[in-house]
Chains A and B, each alone.
Chain A
Amino acid sequence: MLTLAQIMAVFLKDVRSELRTRYALNALLMFVVTTVAIILFALRGDQPGSTVLAGMFWVSVFFTAMSGLSRSFVSEEERGTTMTLQLIASSTTVYFGKLLFNAVLTLVLVAGVTVVYLIVFPAFEITGMGVFLLTVFLGSLGLASAATIIAAIIAKAGSRGTLYPVLSFPILIVPLMTVMGATVKSLEGVPFSDATVDFVVLISYFMVMTAGSVLLFDYVWKD
């Protein structure tokens, strides 16, 4: 049975266990601060243009997400709760619960990175607010959809952390390139209609990735 209530139950369980330890949130926050600090050291006071800023913004998001999103399944394996979860919920429910959790985590992360960039870089001025918000929202969904199935694969494979970015990058390059382009558009303040193509690509990517993951998740989740 697949109901919204069950998905929410899995999601809330993850939120609760996350709030108990705040492991992912703390790690992500520190990762963002470290990354931006390194970028600032490297720039030595230079003020990069909007293309570079948009690129760096998503590079920060990508690597931070890679350090945090794999937790969703790895933590189940570490705590030995995989079997229990398999018993009480269907694979699809688990998948959507985890996807929701990862999407929310990515959105929180992107919000954090945005605040940091707004403070640190004067040139990071969002002129097209609508374009920016939709880009960030759809980008996070796309990132989370691919990251969730890869996290499930990683959790079952022996090596945990190292492979995650290696496996994710080729799959995430389509949304990454699209959001980078769309973010440049939002910084330069182009009209909303000019960014529609990017949104269509992001939406279709999210749909394709989620549909594929739902169909394949069972093979990964159940040994």
Chain B
Amino acid sequence: MSAVKYGSIILVSFVIIAGIAIPLVPSPQNWLEFPVIPGLEEKARNIFFHVPTAWTTVLAFLVSMVYGFRYLRTRNPDYDQKSVISAGLGLMFCILATVTGALWAKFNWGSYWNWDPRQTSIFILLLIYGAYFSLRSAIELEEKKAALSAVYAIVAGLTVPFFIFIMPRMMTGLHPGAQGDSSGGGPLFQSGMMAGNMRVLFYVSLLGFNLLYVWLFTLRLRIARIEDRQLLSRHTEQ
């Protein structure tokens, strides 16, 4: 597990430093220079932080759904714990993706929030996470709480493909991958404007944030298990 821990620390630190420090020049000569993308300029650096956090949000949601499903099949409380932990981390990454996206939108599109289809999607994802945790806090009984929230997570997950893949392509929007953007990958990937070294740093960032997610997940799982054990030993003492 220490490989994940140090890997995520090193990779994310590297991405933060390299993503901010590597200069943008009109015609890059060597590996430590990024090309200037017309219309994006310095704002292009957001791709190293916004896209990986958004990606991790969806990943965390999927993991939460899968563990919810496994809980329903086996009724093993361990799966429920994993499902909640993943949902909590997903909420954190969702907030990060929303904030980085809104900041970028302010400087690129002129306002923090303009209900672009993608902004709508991430807003709904925030709402789903909020509803999931309100549902959990409303139920007292542990097994009921686990089963009902797992069902809710799966039902909510069923709608995710609609607003990630269908709605943004139906409506006109400003976000890369909206209607009229045939590749769906966005202008950076599509027209080859993203230079090779930028692409490498992007994938490093993706890997780094995923490792960060795995590390935080195991960390919180261990904390939760220790708390459970303490609770159990306190009960046996009495």
Give chain A's interface residues, CB within 8 Å of chain B. Answer: 146, 149-150, 153, 156-159, 163, 166-167, 169-171, 173-174, 177, 197, 201, 205, 208-209, 212-213, 216, 219-220, 223
Contact = CB atoms under 8 A, between A and B. Distances in A.
Contact of B155 (A158, A169, A213): A213
13 contacts: A153-B152, A163-B134, A166-B134, A170-B131, A171-B156, A173-B120, A174-B162, A174-B166, A201-B170, A209-B158, A209-B159, A212-B158, A220-B148
B87 to A, nearest CB: 14
Given A157-B139, A174-B159, A174-B162, A216 B151 contact: yes
The prevalent SS among residues of A at the interface is helix
A147 B197 CA distance: 49
B167 interface: yes
A212 B163 contact: no
B102 interface: no
The prevalent SS among residues of B at the interface is helix
A201 to B, nearest CB: 6
Contacts of B170: 197, 201
Nearest to B166: A201
Interface of B: 72, 120, 124, 127-128, 130-131, 134-135, 138-140, 144, 147-148, 150-152, 154-156, 158-159, 162-163, 166-167, 170
Contacts of A205: 159, 162
Nearest to A212: B158
- Please list the 6 inter-chain residue pairs (A to B) with the smallest Cβ-Cβ separation, ordered nearest first: A170-B127, A174-B162, A170-B128, A159-B138, A212-B158, A167-B131
A170 B124 CA distance: 6
Given A212-B158, A220-B148, A169 B127 contact: yes
Nearest to A177: B167
B11 to A, nearest CB: 33
B148 A153 contact: yes
A174 B152 contact: no
A223 B163 contact: no
Given A216-B154, A220-B147, A158 B135 contact: no
Contacts of B135: 153, 157, 163, 167
